[in-house]
């Protein structure tokens, strides 16, 4: 068992999943990560992804968007989900896992580490914090491409591109674990896979 499927509600979730599979578990992706294009599509197609677990383990990442993770898991999963299917929820959203690597965010964006929130799982809107960091960046490309020119509270066209690049080249799950309990639980659950 040296490969795993990754399914995410968006490009950032897919990038995070791929990083966890390769860097934490030391496994290969069974195929490129599947971006479902939103949590609604992910949720409505979960039953289809259960079948993949017969071929190889599946890591599925979604945001809680402020909902209760326990309740969402109970609503979305059957009483006995396939043993190789791992649904992990970022609290409140995937950006909190990115922010948990305070050092990496500081270096990548060229901002003081003190500007990166220390407890991202407790934030109401981590995406807004990422946008604030992009606006403070010393690198003009982040200010111009990650933030909408018409509304600084909205993501720009390059938002996912730059965050996926951050995850692929700079994000360190080990540095992130102490700052994000939801990420720590996800990694702990995935590590059970290695023990099988």
Mean pLDDT within 174-183: 97
| pLDDT of 1 over the 70 cut | no
| pLDDT of 146 over the 90 cut | yes
| pLDDT of 32 over the 80 cut | yes
Q: What is the pTM of this model?
A: 0.95
CA dist., res. 146 & res. 58, Å (int):
30
Q: What is the mean pLDDT of the chain?
A: 95
Q: What is the pLDDT of residues 108-142, one digit of tens each?
A: 999 999 999 999 999 999 999 999 999 999 999 99
Dihedral sign for Cα atoms in the order 183, 186, 191, 192: positive
Contact between 58 and 49 under an 8 Å Cβ cutoff? The reply is yes
Contact between 22 and 2 under an 8 Å Cβ cutoff? The reply is no
Mean pLDDT within 62-78: 94
SS3 8: strand
pLDDT band at residue 196 using 50, 70 and 90 as cut-offs: low
CA dist., res. 182 & res. 164, Å (int):
20
């Amino acid at each position: 068992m040296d490969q795993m499927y990754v399914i995410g509600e968006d490009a950032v979730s897919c990038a995070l999943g791929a990083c966890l599979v390769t860097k934490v578990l030391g496994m290969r992706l069974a195929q490129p990560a599947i971006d479902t294009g939103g949590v609604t599509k992910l949720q409505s197609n979960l039953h289809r992804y259960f079948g993949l677990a017969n071929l190889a383990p599946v890591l599925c990442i979604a945001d809680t968007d402020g909902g209760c993770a326990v309740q969402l898991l109970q609503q979305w999963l059957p009483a006995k989900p396939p043993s190789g299917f791992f649904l992990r929820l970022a609290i409140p959203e995937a950006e909190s896992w990115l922010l948990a690597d305070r050092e990496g965010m500081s270096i990548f964006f060229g901002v003081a580490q003190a500007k990166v929130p220390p407890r991202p799982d407790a934030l109401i809107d981590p995406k807004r914090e990422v946008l604030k960091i992009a606006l403070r960046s010393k690198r003009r490309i982040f200010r111009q491409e990650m933030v909408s020119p018409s509304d600084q509270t909205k993501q720009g066209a390059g938002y996912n591109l730059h965050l996926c690049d951050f995850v692929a080249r700079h994000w360190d799950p080990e540095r992130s674990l102490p700052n994000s309990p939801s990420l720590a639980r996800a990694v702990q659950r995935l590590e059970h896979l290695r023990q099988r």
